[in-house]
Structure 1
Amino acid sequence: MTTNMTTKTLYLLCSAAPPVFDVAHVVEDAQARGWDVCLGLTPTAAHWLSGSLDGLAALTGHAVRWQYKLPGEPDVWPPADALLFAPATFNSVNAWALGLTDRFVVGVAAEAIGKGTPVVAMPCTNSAIAAHPQFDQSLAVLRTAGVELLYGESGFTPGPAGLDTPPHFPWQLALDAVDRHPTAQA
């Protein structure tokens, strides 16, 4: 649970990739670093974690969101000081770069760029799907927009197709990258 001493807010946005099952530990690690964490999920990630959503809300002290609020409803999250989108799947990366914001987390990530919020993303895909030409174009668009991408030698390295779970997803590297942003330091 977060404390009143927390002065900086991290939006942790997750797509449906196997590292999402570690999200409770990631929230705890971020909280230990002084972050007030708000957790957003793609609809499929929310489905995968459906049995844990109440516990994750209790852990963060905020509603776990995967859908847009209705017009006129108040925003239940405080403003973000930084945003981490990890794991970010092939689909989420491409939708984000193309501005296709029908999913809540992609819309929040797209808006963060326009607000000047520090944004770090760690894609998680396999090497076969990452070979699709749109993926490199999408990564280039996001880099140009100011997103710090932790991918390849600087982050997550895709493995071969067919593995259900990547051998290692460098969550600590992602949290370290968020901590380095000057506007994210309280």
Structure 2
Amino acid sequence: MSRGLLYVIVCAAGAAGQVGRLVGLAQASGWTVQVIATPPALNFIDAAALERQTGRPVRSRYRSPDAPRPPRADAIVVAPATYNTINKFAQGIADTYALSLLAEAPGLGIPVVVLPFVSTALAARPVFRRSVTDLRAEGVQVLLGSGEFEPHEPGAGGSAVDGYPWHLALRSL
């Protein structure tokens, strides 16, 4: 039984190369998965492998005007979510296909879960803390702090990849 269509928005962070783990967990839970990559994330992922896994093309650009409109997501997970994407999402900046989808989602009532992959130095910035607060005020679940997920030390992102808690995003849907 399908739970619906889950958009997995993947950003250019260290854990991005393992996003197939999230896809597999989502599919095992009954979701149909569409991977959306930010343009820089394309250098971090194996798009061909993800397309084989999902049976769908990895999207990173707007469709052409004559192309069919893709189905609307029932839920969205942003993982790994970067400092840049989280701040842009909170400010309503829609300068990529992925951010355009995120900008619309709260207004459409689409549940969004954000699982950051950021350092403690970036997470300590006032602008980042405001962004997290603003997104939460709109009903976006940002899995950060309170024992959910903690940022890694600066320069330690590579060692944090294997322990990245993909399962938390699905548990929160």
Asked whether the two chains share a fold, i.e. TM above 0.5, the reply is yes
Matched residue, 1:136: 129
SS at match of 1:152: coil
Corresponding letter in the other structure for 1:140 = T
Matched residue, 2:56: 62
SS at match of 2:151: coil
Distance 2:140 2:159 in 1: 23
Distance 2:127 2:64 in 1: 32
Aligned identity (percent) is: 39
Corresponding letter in the other structure for 1:177 = S
Matched residue, 2:83: 90
SS at match of 1:162: coil
Distance 2:5 2:96 in 1: 21
SS at match of 2:122: helix
Corresponding letter in the other structure for 2:35 = L
Superposition RMSD in Å: 1.4
2:37, 2:59 within 8 Å by CA — same for their partners in 1?
yes
Matched residue, 2:150: 157
In the TM superposition, what is the alpha-carbon distance from 1:24 to its structure 2 partner?
A: 1.1
* TM-score (normalizing by structure 1): 0.86
1:124, 1:156 within 8 Å by CA — same for their partners in 2?
no
1:122, 1:155 within 8 Å by CA — same for their partners in 2?
no
In the TM superposition, what is the alpha-carbon distance from 1:166 to its structure 2 partner?
A: 4.9
2:21, 2:166 within 8 Å by CA — same for their partners in 1?
no
In the TM superposition, what is the alpha-carbon distance from 1:6 to its structure 2 partner?
A: 2.9
Distance 1:45 1:149 in 2: 20
Aligned counterpart in structure 2 of residue 74 of structure 1, from 55, 59, 68 = 68
Corresponding letter in the other structure for 2:155 = G
Q: Is it true that 1:15 corresponds to 2:11 in the alignment?
A: yes
Q: Give the gaps of 5 or more residues in structure 2.
A: none
SS at match of 1:66: coil
Q: Is it true that 1:175 corresponds to 2:163 in the alignment?
A: no
Q: Give the gaps of 5 or more residues in structure 1.
A: 179-186
In the TM superposition, what is the alpha-carbon distance from 1:70 to its structure 2 partner?
A: 2.5
Q: Is it true that 1:103 corresponds to 2:99 in the alignment?
A: no
* TM-score (normalizing by structure 2): 0.92
Distance 2:17 2:55 in 1: 19
Q: List per-residue Cα deviations over 1:31-89 (Å, max 9, x = no partner).
A: 0100000001111111222xx212211211111011112234222x3221111111110
In the alignment of these two chains, the number of paired residues is 171
Q: 1:147 to 1:45 in 2, by over 3 A?
A: same
